Amino acid sequence: DAGVTQSPTHLIKTRGQQVTLRCSPKSGHDTVSWYQQALGQGPQFIFQYYEEEERQRGNFPDRFSGHQFPNYSSELNVNALLLGDSALYLCASSFGTGQFRNYGYTFGSGTRLTVV
């Protein structure tokens, strides 16, 4: 059973460009969350998608946007890249949102984004 799949694994972009990262959730999961992890720090929550809608959002600017498709896969888009956007971007999936659902998130191995 495949876990969470993220692509690409590594990416180098130039300041000011736009980037799209992709995530396929674990089989049976319908909720996708995105996290940003700077070097040496814990992951920071960006947003969560469920039923193709953004359900929760962390403290990130509007340059960060996302989408969830009918097959539950998701994309993270970042516009007008800054040097500070260099980080590991993690996708996490789970079953449903709310207290009556399965426990625990399954994380992917992430996409390492470098902005130069």
Cβ atoms of residues 63 and 78 within 8 Å: yes
Which residue matches tokens 């920071």?
A: 44
Cβ neighbours, 10 Å, residue 89: 24
Instruction: Please list every residue from 3 through 32 that binds other proteins, using CB under 8 A.
Output: 4, 31
- Asked if 36 is part of the footprint of other proteins (rule: CB under 8 A), the reply reads no
* Contact between residue 49 and residue 62 where contact means Cβ atoms under 8 Å apart: no
60 is a site residue for other proteins (CB under 8 A): no
With CB under 8 A as the contact rule, the residue among 5, 20, 44, 65 that binds other proteins is 44
Question: How many residues at the interface with other proteins, by CB under 8 A?
Answer: 30
CA distance 96 to 91: 15
98 scored as a contact of other proteins (CB under 8 A)? yes
- Which C-beta is closer to other proteins: that of 7 or that of 56? 56
**Contact assessment for residue 21 and residue 111, using Cβ atoms and an 8 Å cutoff:** yes
Q: Work out whether 58 is an interface residue with other proteins (CB under 8 A).
A: yes
Q: At its nearest, how many Å lie between other proteins and the CB of residue 77?
A: 19
CA angle 61, 55, 87 (to 5 degrees): 40
| Binding positions for other proteins, rule: CB under 8 A | 4, 31, 33, 35, 41-45, 48, 56, 58, 90, 92, 94-99, 101-110
